[in-house]
Structure 1
Amino acid sequence: MKYAIAVDLGASSGKMAIGHLEKEKIVIDEYRNFVNRPVDIGTALYWDVFSLYNSVLDGLTYFQKYGGTKTVGIDTWGATFGLLDAKGRLLEPVYHYRDRRTVDVMEKLYKNIDAKMLFQWTGCQCNRTYTLPQLYEYVIEQNPILKFTSKLLLLPDLLGYFLTGNALTETTIAGTTGLLEKSMDKWSERVIEKYELPRTIFGTLEHSGVSKGRLRKDVIVDTGADMEVLTVAEHDSASAVLAIPKLKEGDLYISIGTNISMGVETSKANTSDPAFYSGLKNTAGFGGRTIVYRDFSACWHLNEFIRTCRGEGKNYSFEQIVGMAEEDACTGPWIDVEDLDLCKAGGNYKEQINLFLSRTNQKGISEDYEFVNCIHQSIAMKVKHYK
């Protein structure tokens, strides 16, 4: 029997699954989960990509008990990237997209190209977590790192590079950069030029289903696995939309994770004035399709609550968090899950919630179950009333 391995990385955890085809149906044989814990050092926030890579290697080793595994593919959240030098080495740790270095970058970004024009060119309405603002921060600060950069690889392609030694850039994950033309099939030369970014660091775009090559010899020795690495729909939202059965053009989807993404899959980008003023975004979907959507922070707020509780000596699992949630009432208090202050990583998240409640003339809370209910109810109400 031929097996395939899927790697799905989220902002708080990763999953690996092994499965096979059975009468044109995908059968999942087993899951394997692991933690993704960002690293906070001084004022900087990083992703622990080496821990993630080791977790993937451990999973490849574990799944060898099935035998006959032919391929592996990786999807992740968007916008996160690594910078490689001419010898293929990482030039710096991989920054978290919520690292505070980009807190003030958006005003400067839109002085160069106004928001509406950038939307008309790229279909993207950037916030500071996108790749473009992160790269532009280097330019603003005259950081010399871009001069030494040979290639930029987004996270799933970076991990694929670690596994194979081959550097490819898949289209759906490139769609999270804010640096593609609205056709979602090529880099925007005019955006790259306007923001003084080195064109040479952006590789050729490849569609899903292309081989990255076989595992490196040292990986084969370490894991016992000898297989091909494929580009999948590497942006997790694109994979989620692709996996929805019988989704037709114009059907609304809702994908829930660290962020909630709500939208439709279409044949081309929507860059109309109504789309711009409604806050819609466009990103690359599978097979040359375009996803028109809006998104906002969701389970990220729960992750921040869990992080704060961990600092208090309470190591809650997601199962325990769900168990705290009351099912009987949406009585408040409420937070705005898009509030800029609440969406800054770090600090005591319980205190931040109570500061928001004070600013909005709501009563403060203190019990953990109250915070959990507040977050869950606020996410649900945001979905219900999102316009």
Structure 2
Amino acid sequence: MLGTLQGGTLDLREIRRFPNEPVRQNGSLYWDVLRLWHEVTQALESAADTRLTGVGVDGWGVDYALIGERGNLLENPYHYRDVRNEGMMEAVFERVSREKIYAVTGIQFLQINTLFQFYAACRLTPRIVDAAEALVTIPDLLNYWLSGRLCSEYTVATTTQFVDARRRTWATRLLSEIGLPTRTLPEIVQPATVIGAIRKDAARALAGTPVVAPACHDTGSAVASVCAGGSTAFISSGTWSLVGTEIDAPVITAKARDLNFTNEGGVCGTIRLLKNVSGLWLLQACRRSWAARGQPFGYDALLSEAADDRLSFASLVDPDCHAFLNPSDMPSQIALYCRQTSQREPSGPAAYARTILESLALKYRVVIDSLEELTGRRFDQIRIVGGGARNRLLNQFTADATGRTVLAGPVEATALGNIGMQMLATGAVRSVGEARAVIERSFPVERFEPSATDRWDAQYRRFLDYLEFTCA
């Protein structure tokens, strides 16, 4: 994505779009980072005639790469849904308690976290770990290949569960207690840091262009693009839904731990207090299963059919049920959940979509109600950003389920937040507030007001019962 700032407004233009598909080999699931690198360099070639003032990479958190002594990639990074993570949380808790880990890191417990992934690597492939000189997240890896500088940007570093939330440095003592090596952890840098310049072997025509570490965590960049504090909660909506608010200091309490909230690093000294919800992944996985059976369903057509109120509240599921993490067939798994909870199975693709979207909206309400309890704030509105902001049906359901005004957009919030941090790093703006103001006046926002709240309130009480169900 190419951002151009002119006359106080920002224009965003797509340079290149490409898929990022995991690769299964010998029973394991990997990311094809060399293909990603190829696509990044091709995109830079497309912008070779542009006078760039900066380049920065953001991406998803928790997954990591191991770098050898010559700067080489030791193996393809594992995908966070790989089966090697099974049972690793419990194994770690045998060494150091859940309570102690949370007291230091303030990070939500998910088996996908780098902490548990790296523990699996230390147990299963110790020789590769021993050969590593550095451990970096995926966006840090790409920024390293661009600039030649090995470092870890703060917002994405916090997703590893390796960072002391209060000190904002690596929690080396805790990691050593767990049995994880800390010699591989690079310097932490703050968002909006110029970390170097594009190397000739990365993009000759753009060599010397500053490389900026923006908020390298994609959600960190998305939140950086909008005002997401005070009486506003945010939902960064995509494969995952990150539901939270921006605060000044971490909330590390027994209540936050029991509710499994996370304190991820934000920009300009802030913390993103949030909870990960398994977002549109369920619908994506259903569509993949249907396509494999020769029944491809277009997204828009599916949502149009799902808007039929005759399908409303036929069945509800907990989107975060462990069984939905990576099933071989998502529709079958949802049907099984419905049978196990004495509900009707969805009657077809549109009914599945309706079940998923209504369930997501109700789960958002659970999280936002808990967020109010933890912060003592009242959230009057919800800002939905990211690709999921295009889903007008889910946006309306979210307003209805929560009883709050929803503001949806920008869709490309992550790219805009990344560019906003580059603008700050290179002096084009003086503050994150100024960057947000530029973005706000440059891109449209759609408003959704709550309706039929009594009906949703009744379904919410029913939904809470399903959260108590432990799925197979």
Please, what TM-score do these two structures have when normalized by structure 2?
A: 0.73
Q: Quick check: 1:333 aligned with 2:318?
A: no
Name 1:351's counterpart in structure 2.
332
Q: Quick check: 1:239 aligned with 2:221?
A: yes
- The 1:56–1:327 alpha-carbon spacing in structure 2 relative to 1, beyond 3 Å, is farther
Q: Greater helix percent: which structure? A: 2
Q: How far has the Cα of 1:73 moved from its partner?
A: 1.1
CA displacement, residues 108-141 of structure 1 (integer Å, 9 cap, x when unaligned): 1112221122111111132111100001112333
User: Structure 2 CA distance, aligned partners of 1:86 and 1:298?
Assistant: 38
Judge conservation of contact 1:184–1:284 (CA < 8 Å) in 2: no
| 1:140-151 pair list within 5 angstroms | 140-141=123-124, 143-151=126-134
- Of the candidates 118, 129, 132, which is equivalent to residue 135 of structure 1? 118
Q: Quick check: 1:61 aligned with 2:45?
A: yes
Q: Moved runs in structure 1, 4+ residues, more than 6 A? A: none
- Of the candidates 268, 276, 285, which is equivalent to residue 287 of structure 1? 268
Q: Quick check: 1:276 aligned with 2:257?
A: yes
User: Structure 1 CA distance, aligned partners of 2:178 and 2:224?
Assistant: 33
Q: Greater strand percent: which structure? A: 1
- Of the candidates 230, 235, 240, which is equivalent to residue 212 of structure 2? 230
Residue 175 of structure 1 aligns to a residue whose secondary structure is: helix
Judge conservation of contact 2:147–2:198 (CA < 8 Å) in 1: yes
| 1:103-122 pair list within 5 angstroms | 103-122=86-105
Residue 20 of structure 1 aligns with an amino acid whose one-letter code is T
Residue 261 of structure 1 aligns with an amino acid whose one-letter code is L
CA displacement, residues 11-65 of structure 1 (integer Å, 9 cap, x when unaligned): xxxxxx2111123332224464321111122421111212222222222222335
User: Structure 2 CA distance, aligned partners of 1:376 and 1:202?
Assistant: 40
Q: How far has the Cα of 1:90 moved from its partner?
A: 1.2
User: Structure 2 CA distance, aligned partners of 1:334 and 1:114?
Assistant: 34
User: Structure 2 CA distance, aligned partners of 1:34 and 1:68?
Assistant: 23
Unaligned residue ranges in structure 2 (runs of 5+): 371-472
Judge conservation of contact 1:184–1:288 (CA < 8 Å) in 2: no
Q: Quick check: 1:51 aligned with 2:59?
A: no
Judge conservation of contact 1:297–1:338 (CA < 8 Å) in 2: yes
- Of the candidates 156, 159, 176, which is equivalent to residue 142 of structure 2? 159
Q: Quick check: 1:379 aligned with 2:360?
A: yes
User: Greater shift after overlay, 351-360 or 77-86?
Assistant: 351-360
User: Structure 2 CA distance, aligned partners of 1:378 and 1:30?
Assistant: 33
| 1:1-387 pair list within 5 angstroms | 17-30=1-14, 32-65=16-49, 67-141=50-124, 143-183=126-166, 185-221=168-204, 224-226=205-207, 227-245=209-227, 247-249=228-230, 251-316=232-297, 318-326=299-307, 328=309, 330-343=312-325, 345-365=326-346, 367-386=348-367, 387=370
Judge conservation of contact 2:63–2:80 (CA < 8 Å) in 1: yes
Residue 50 of structure 1 aligns to a residue whose secondary structure is: helix
User: Structure 2 CA distance, aligned partners of 1:127 and 1:359?
Assistant: 24
Residue 261 of structure 1 aligns to a residue whose secondary structure is: strand
Q: How far has the Cα of 1:170 moved from its partner?
A: 0.4
Tell me: higher relative CO, structure 1 or 2? Use CA pairs within 8 A at least 6 residues apart. 2
User: Structure 2 CA distance, aligned partners of 1:106 and 1:169?
Assistant: 24
Q: How far has the Cα of 1:80 moved from its partner?
A: 0.9
What percent identity do the matched residue pairs reach?
Answer: 27
- The 1:96–1:119 alpha-carbon spacing in structure 2 relative to 1, beyond 3 Å, is same
Residue 218 of structure 2 aligns with an amino acid whose one-letter code is D
- The 1:249–1:381 alpha-carbon spacing in structure 2 relative to 1, beyond 3 Å, is closer
Residue 202 of structure 2 aligns to a residue whose secondary structure is: helix
Q: How far has the Cα of 1:145 moved from its partner?
A: 1.6
User: Structure 2 CA distance, aligned partners of 1:317 and 1:237?
Assistant: 27
User: Structure 1 CA distance, aligned partners of 2:169 and 2:17?
Assistant: 35
